[in-house]
């Protein structure tokens, strides 16, 4: 069942949350119609440390093009009666092309996060329901109420203006009547005019009282509007926007956003608030202007309009400065002279005419200045480094309705560091990027300077500084308080909180969370002690224990060990880890306890305690007395996996049968094995690298019912060669610090002519050693000219060089065995037996010399020529392969020569 099918079985409130996180930019119909297509491409995508990675951007661009094509194809294939679906898909294809062609990473990252959220909702549906914050309804209702108040205030203010105009007319009429009354000579008429004038004055006084009441009521409504605006704005900025910023820090550790609101919704709220505040400000100024025209109110009445104007201006200032945010944070581990990106956005950019001026944004890097900037609320003019391409203009996108600027090509050229104290290192020093701008709002009567500081950044100059730098960033992202003094973090935290942060980071990096057993193992490793499960919430761990103090009997810290395990899993073991095929974090002793209860050939995979980034295989074998014994293969590292993957190695190991507890290994790992490739050149026999379990002196690999004298691995018999393929097996000895490459060449087509291998004293049987009375091992070669035999001239001469004339009785001694010369001549009959022997030290030294820099890459022609002329002394044998010949070279031949004994190798 697809992920989307399982999502649609969730409760309705959870479905609403999922629809909400996709937002307006990605219609839910697209997710429905392209469900399987999207999941096939995004559920198991590789994880990149930074979104500005060129490979990540290329994958995002490719995905966008494929998505648009798939939308158009799906729209065409929809039934004819589904007109709405066709229109919706075609419209989405056009919108995606317009919205994201310049920034495909935005859509790519958004969809990956949405799929991750879907997985979380399936795993924890109760938590997703609880995320439905009831305060969201309060914000929405508050904004609707404010909009109604603003409209009412506008009407009241408009009516009040009309009342003022009527009042002015009445006052003007009274003034005119007074002048006319003075000119009336008739006393009766004058008295009548005086009475009428008195009535008019009484009417005016009543009108003034009424207008005063209306104005005071309007002022009171202004104050109510300001008070409610302050409450809603407080919730939007200091709850939801602050939580969004906190989630950015958690996202730096790999967490997905769990906030009920996304940034687009917060922007809509902020734009509504900006319009409400600006409208209220205009209404207050209009009321003050009208009041100044008529100074008719009682002088003892308090005037709240000036104070209200100050309050609403402060609300506007707070809104503008707080909504200048970093939408896309710069990389938190930043390497000098390396390109990086960041995006800044002004959430109220669609209002107040700000977008008309395209404000300039400048970027600088600060350290100690961050504290002064926060305390003074004034951006610092100082910088402790030099950043190229650090200016850009805020631009408005009509499609997305966003005012933002993306810095795509910034580079940190220089950095000034503070003096180190005690054991501090450059990986402990934190910086931040400061983004600042200035612009006018409205009609230019108000100018605001805005700034914002990024999450902490550690600046490095070399890749080997990266692990410790990520320790600094991980601790800061997990435990920094939003209102802290810049860069301050606690020195001691709860282990359970740290464990959750590590689990989040590991899940984001590898695709699957650790088990409770894994987490408890990490706890015991971090504290260097056995602890009861579950651990108490009171258990705390210090920064020094986390990443400064080496583990017992080790040269690395807990964090370095954890980081290396996470890195090798992300880069080479992601598939098996997500399938649950790798236990990983488990004690060696506990792994042995588990395996001792299992049949022979059962194995599990765990991270090595002794080697950074190493993973080892523990498996059940049987000793000679039939008792089970647990063996541990030397850990494989990323360098080993660059040559051959873990799944391929497990397939090679014939002694491994079941993945713990009882899953056949082919079911667990076959999907990840490398399919055989086609030969690059048909004139050559293809080769393949394979891994073989090799015993050590301390832990010989024993097989049931096998005599002790043959308890070691032997060279395979020639009859076991695969007749239709030519394969070179390169084996790796697991009992040495550096792998030794022990070649075993098998050549043949149609028939296998000969095979021989040589291994040093660590794997040779005591019955077949150089010092053994039985002498060195033998290899039988068919008679020249016999059926299935190679041509005489192609018999190997790799033991020692010898020459014998035709029919000559001369002989050459090899390993104590006399070789009659006539057996080497054309037409000779009989059989030839070679006992080969050589010094392991010579062979090992030569192999180390030849392969010291080999890392799995193909050899060019020059290297091949050098290898063929290096007098490579092995007991590898070659047989002629019937087939076409070119340039005088026998197909299937392998050049061999005598060992360079004189040069002391």
Which DSSP string corresponds to 667-685?
A: HHHGGGSPPPPPPS-TTS-
**Of the candidates 387, 248, 391, the residue with the CA atom closest to the CA atom of residue 329:** 248
Per-range mean pLDDT, top range of 22-26, 202-206, 232-236: 232-236
3-state class (DSSP) for residue 114: helix
Calculate the alpha carbon distances from 896 to 741, 849, 873, 874, 879 in Å: 18, 17, 7, 8, 12
| Residue 157: band (very low, low, confident or very high) from pLDDT cuts 50, 70, 90 | confident
**pLDDT at residue number 468:** 92
Mean pLDDT (whole number) for 880-892 = 36
Give me the chain's average pLDDT, please.
74
3-state class (DSSP) for residue 119: helix
Mean pLDDT (whole number) for 281-285 = 90
**pLDDT at residue number 900:** 36
d(CA 657, CA 602): 6
d(CA 888, CA 793): 13
Q: Which residue has the higher pLDDT, 878 or 636?
A: 636
Residue 461 has pLDDT above 80, yes or no: yes
**Of the candidates 256, 429, 252, 257, the residue with the CA atom closest to the CA atom of residue 329:** 252
DSSP H or E run through 586: none
Residue labelled with tokens 């105009």: 165
DSSP state of 237: I
Q: Which residues contact 476 (CB under 8 A, 6 or more apart)?
A: 249, 430, 455, 456, 487, 489
DSSP 397-409: ETTTTEEEEEEEE
Mean pLDDT (whole number) for 370-390 = 77
Q: Which residue has the higher pLDDT, 725 or 175?
A: 175
* 543 close to 491: Cβ distance less than 8 angstroms: yes
DSSP 602-646: EEEEEE-SSSTT-EEEEEEEE-TTS-EEEEEPPPB-HHHHHHS-H
How far does CA 94 lie from the centroid of its chain?
Answer: 30
Mean pLDDT (whole number) for 146-171 = 85
Within 13 Å, how many C-alpha atoms sit on residue 904's CB side? 0
**Of the candidates 230, 224, 307, 223, the residue with the CA atom closest to the CA atom of residue 273:** 230
Residue labelled with tokens 């294809």: 93
**pLDDT at residue number 827:** 40
Q: Which residues contact 16 (CB under 8 A, 6 or more apart)?
A: 132
Residue 380 has pLDDT above 80, yes or no: no
DSSP H or E run through 781: strand 778-781
d(CA 662, CA 476): 42
**pLDDT at residue number 260:** 41
463-491 pLDDT, tens digit per residue, is 888 999 999 999 999 898 877 888 888 99
Residue 176 has pLDDT above 70, yes or no: yes
Instruction: Write out the two tokens for 745.
Output: 């060449």
d(CA 467, CA 543): 15
* 666 close to 673: Cβ distance less than 8 angstroms: no
Instruction: Write out the two tokens for 357.
Output: 């001026």
Residue labelled with tokens 């560091």: 417
**pLDDT at residue number 781:** 38
490-533 pLDDT, tens digit per residue, is 999 999 999 999 998 999 888 888 998 999 999 999 998 888 88
| Residue 852: band (very low, low, confident or very high) from pLDDT cuts 50, 70, 90 | low
**% pLDDT > 70, the chain:** 71
Instruction: Write out the two tokens for 498.
Output: 């740290």
Mean pLDDT (whole number) for 256-285 = 81
CB atoms within 10 A of CB 869: 10
| Residue 874: band (very low, low, confident or very high) from pLDDT cuts 50, 70, 90 | very low
| Residue 582: band (very low, low, confident or very high) from pLDDT cuts 50, 70, 90 | very high
**pLDDT at residue number 840:** 52
Mean pLDDT (whole number) for 435-457 = 88
Residue labelled with tokens 């994958």: 59
Mean pLDDT (whole number) for 264-269 = 86
| Residue 586: band (very low, low, confident or very high) from pLDDT cuts 50, 70, 90 | very high
Does residue 539 have a cis peptide bond before it, meaning omega lies within 30 degrees of 0?
Answer: no
Within 13 Å, how many C-alpha atoms sit on residue 900's CB side? 9
d(CA 212, CA 865): 105
Q: Which residues of 838-859 are buried (b: 16+ CB within 10 A; e: fewer)?
A: bebeebbebbeeeeeeeeeeee
DSSP state of 239: I
| Range in 109-123, 384-398, 635-649 with the lowest mean pLDDT | 109-123
| Range in 356-360, 662-666, 710-714 with the lowest mean pLDDT | 710-714
Residue 289 has pLDDT above 60, yes or no: yes
Residue 672 has pLDDT above 50, yes or no: yes
| Residue 277: band (very low, low, confident or very high) from pLDDT cuts 50, 70, 90 | very high
* 149 close to 225: Cβ distance less than 8 angstroms: yes
**pLDDT at residue number 138:** 83
What's the whole-model pTM score?
A: 0.63
User: According to DSSP H, which parts of 818-885 are helical?
Assistant: 840-851, 861-868
């Amino acid at each position: 069942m697809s992920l989307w099918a399982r999502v649609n079985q969730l409760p309705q409130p959870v479905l609403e949350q999922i629809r909400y996180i996709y937002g307006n930019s990605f219609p839910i119909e697209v997710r429905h119609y392209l469900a399987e297509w999207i999941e096939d491409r995004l559920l198991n995508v590789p994880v990149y440390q930074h979104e500005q990675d060129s490979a990540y951007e290329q994958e995002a661009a490719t995905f966008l093009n494929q998505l648009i094509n798939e939308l158009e194809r799906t729209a065409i294939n929809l039934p004819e009666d589904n007109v709405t679906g066709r229109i919706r898909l075609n419209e989405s294809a056009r919108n995606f092309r317009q919205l994201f062609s310049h920034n495909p990473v935005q859509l790519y990252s958004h969809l990956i996060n949405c799929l991750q959220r879907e997985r979380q909702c399936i795993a924890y549906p109760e938590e997703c329901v609880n995320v439905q914050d009831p305060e969201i309804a309060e914000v929405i209702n508050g904004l609707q109420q404010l909009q109604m108040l603003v409209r009412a205030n506008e009407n009241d203010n408009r009516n009040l203006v009309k009342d003022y105009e009527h009042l002015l007319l009445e006052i003007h009429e009274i003034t005119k009547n007074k002048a006319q009354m003075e000119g009336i000579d008739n006393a009766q008429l004058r008295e009548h005019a005086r009475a009428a004038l008195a009535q008019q004055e009484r009417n005016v006084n009543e009108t003034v009282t009424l207008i005063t009441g209306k104005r005071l009521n309007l002022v009171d409504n202004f104050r109510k509007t300001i008070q409610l605006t302050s409450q809603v704005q407080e919730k939007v900025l200091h709850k939801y926007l602050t939580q969004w910023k906190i989630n950015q820090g958690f996202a730096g550790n790999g967490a997905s956003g769990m906030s009920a609101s996304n940034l687009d919704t917060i922007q809509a709220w902020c734009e509504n608030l900006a319009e409400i505040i600006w409208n209220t400000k205009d209404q207050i100024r209009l009321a003050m202007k009208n009041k100044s025209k008529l100074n008719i109110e009682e002088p003892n009445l308090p005037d709240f309009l000036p104070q209200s104007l100050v309050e609403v201006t402060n609300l506007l200032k707070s809104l503008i400065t707080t909504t200048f945010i970093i939408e896309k944070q710069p990389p938190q581990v930043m390497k000098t002279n390396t390109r990086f990106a960041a995006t800044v956005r002004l959430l109220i950019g669609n209002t107040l005419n700000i977008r008309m001026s395209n404000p300039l944004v400048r970027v600088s890097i600060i350290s100690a200045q961050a504290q002064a900037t926060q305390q003074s609320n004034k951006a610092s003019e100082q910088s402790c480094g030099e950043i190229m391409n650090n200016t850009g203009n805020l631009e408005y996108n009509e499609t997305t309705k966003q005012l933002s600027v993306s810095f795509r090509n910034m580079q940190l050229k220089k950095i000034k560091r503070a003096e180190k104290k005690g054991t501090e290192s450059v990986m402990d020093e934190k910086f931040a990027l400061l983004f600042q701008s200035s612009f006018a709002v409205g009609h230019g009567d108000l100018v605001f300077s805005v700034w914002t500081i990024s999450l902490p950044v550690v600046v490095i100059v070399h890749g080997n500084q990266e692990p410790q730098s990520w320790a600094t960033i991980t601790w800061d992202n997990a435990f920094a308080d939003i209102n802290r003094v810049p860069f301050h973090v606690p020195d001691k935290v709860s282990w359970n909180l740290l464990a959750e942060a590590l689990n989040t980071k590991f899940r984001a990096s590898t695709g699957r969370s650790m088990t409770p057993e894994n987490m408890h193992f990490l706890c015991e490793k971090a504290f260097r002690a056995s602890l009861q499960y579950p651990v108490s919430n009171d258990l705390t761990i210090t920064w020094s224990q986390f990443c400064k103090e080496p583990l017992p009997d080790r040269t690395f810290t807990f964090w370095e060990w954890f980081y290396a395990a996470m890195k090798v899993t992300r880069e080479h073991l992601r598939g098996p880890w997500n399938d649950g095929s790798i236990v990983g974090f488990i004690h060696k002793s506990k792994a042995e306890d588990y395996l001792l209860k299992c049949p022979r050939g059962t194995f599990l995979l765990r991270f090595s305690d002794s080697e950074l980034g190493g993973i080892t295989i523990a498996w059940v074998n049987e000793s000679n007395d039939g008792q089970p014994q647990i063996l541990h293969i030397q850990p494989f590292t990323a360098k080993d996996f660059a040559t051959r993957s873990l799944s391929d190695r497990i397939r090679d190991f014939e002694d491994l049968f079941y993945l713990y507890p009882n899953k056949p290994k082919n079911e667990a790992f076959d999907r990840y094995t490398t399919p055989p490739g086609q030969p690059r050149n048909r004139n050559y026999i293809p080769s393949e690298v394979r891994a073989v379990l090799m015993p050590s002196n301390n832990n010989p690999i024993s097989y049931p019912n096998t005599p002790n004298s043959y308890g070691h691995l032997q060279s395979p018999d020639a009859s076991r060669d695969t007749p239709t393929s030519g394969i070179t097996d390169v084996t790796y000895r697991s009992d040495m610090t550096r792998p030794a490459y022990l070649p075993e060449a098998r050549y043949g087509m149609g028939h296998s002519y000969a095979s021989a291998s040589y291994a040093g004293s660590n794997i040779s049987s005591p019955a077949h050693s150089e010092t053994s009375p039985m002498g060195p091992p033998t290899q039988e070669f068919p008679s020249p000219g016999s059926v299935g035999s190679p041509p005489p001239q192609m018999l190997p001469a790799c033991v020692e060089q010898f020459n014998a004339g035709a029919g000559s009785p001369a002989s050459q001694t090899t390993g104590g065995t006399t070789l009659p010369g006539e057996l080497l001549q054309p037409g000779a009959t009989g059989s030839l037996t070679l006992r080969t022997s050589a010094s392991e030290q010579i062979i090992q030294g030569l192999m180390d010399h030849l392969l010291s820099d080999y890392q799995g890459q193909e050899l060019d022609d020059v290297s091949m020529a050098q290898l063929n002329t290096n007098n490579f002394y092995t007991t590898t044998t070659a047989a002629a392969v019937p087939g076409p010949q070119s340039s005088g070279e026998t197909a299937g031949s392998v050049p061999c020569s005598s060992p360079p004994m004189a040069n002391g190798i």
